[in-house]
Amino acid sequence: MSRAHLVVNLSRIEHNARILVRRLPGVDIVGVSKVTCGDGLVAAAMVEGGVKAIADSRHANLEGLREAGVDVPVWLLRGPRPDEAAETVRLADVSLNSELATVWALDAAAERLGGVHRVIVMVDLGDLREGILPEEVVPFLNAVLPLRHVWLEGLGTNLSCYGGVAPSPENLGELVELAKVAAEMFGRGLTVSGGNSSTLDLALGGNMPEGIDNLRLGESILLGMNTLTRKPLMPELDLDAFIISAPVIECKMKPSLPIGDVAQDAFGHKPVFVDRGIRMRALCALGRQDAPPQGLTPCDDRVEVLGASSDHLVLDVDEMDAPPAPGDSIDFRPNYAALLQAYTSPYVEKMHVSDSPAKVRSRVGARREVVT
């Protein structure tokens, strides 16, 4: 192996999606693909697991999902700009919105394209990322009501991503009450999208307010993690759907303290070292340009991540029974940040594996190789 690989196990992603869908009856699950840059095979695996839609935050990723032939509704997770309205209508069935100027632009674009675009109006319940304030909901919806080419799909919120505010019966209960007002204004039932994977603590514990009928799940499906604690969400979920495999390019006995005066490293930090004597140290072809070292957990607990430069990962392998040789690979479980960066890096090869590739390939075509 000459370069780092990200091994994507589609069967484990499908398994995780299926477990969460079954545990949340009455709640439509939207699978979020943004950490995988809109990987069509990952999206198809989530669909096989029972998600009702796929969501991503970038138009380029939506384009890839469309080209891959994903056959469920596609959501745009990030509010578009007004000048992106036509592209949004073309690529997304649903978009999240909090600006009237954008909604009006979407209405005009949908009219030109001869269709109707569905919108989720986002309400800010305290996390202070996107959304209108609760007191602005009725005036906002009054401006949306006359539009002929925008269909109000429902109300939604996002919590824990920016401000770290956890979902609660109180803040999600406020969303449900606002949705009741909106449903009365529009004379029909509406989707109530109660947030992302951070809402699962409430949902799985039976404490999510009645009326929340939609959740947007990414990290919980893909990594099996509780996003509020970064611990495994539940025993049934697989934590190894993604493995980063990095090739060893050097392995030598070296001092654990640098020799000479320590100044700044390549990223402007002054590193601190502990003298542990002479240790076996491995160097891998994976750097901060590909994944943050603090986001990599070695699959072999005898391996310790010491740090990284832009293109090199430094490991302590002294506890291993036999040191790795150049050309061997060392495997890591990525956290969300490391997975995002590895998917974004063009220097990390993506390799899909599956127990049943034919089923996945039938949904997305044969554009990408699936290894069994």
> Which residues are part of the catalytic machinery?
34
User: What torsion do the CA atoms of 40, 152, 127, 88 make, to the nearest 10 degrees?
Assistant: 40
DSSP secondary structure of 203-238: HHTT-SPTT--EEEESHHHHT-EETTTTEES-TTS-
For strands 313-316 and 225-226, give the pairing: unpaired
Quick check: helix, strand or coil at residue 180?
helix
Helices (H) and strands (E) in the chain, counts: 11, 19
State the Cα–Cα distance between residues 36 and 43, nearest whole angstrom. Answer: 9
State the Cα–Cα distance between residues 181 and 142, nearest whole angstrom. Answer: 12
Please say whether the beta carbons of 8 and 42 come within 8 A. Answer: yes
Element housing 22 (H / E): helix 10-23
Please name the residues in contact with 139: beta carbons below 8 A apart, sequence gap of 6 or more.
Answer: none
Of residues 187, 181, 12, 161, the one with CA closest to residue 96: 161
For strands 117-122 and 94-97, give the pairing: parallel
Please name the residues in contact with 118: beta carbons below 8 A apart, sequence gap of 6 or more.
Answer: 93, 94, 95, 150, 151, 152, 153
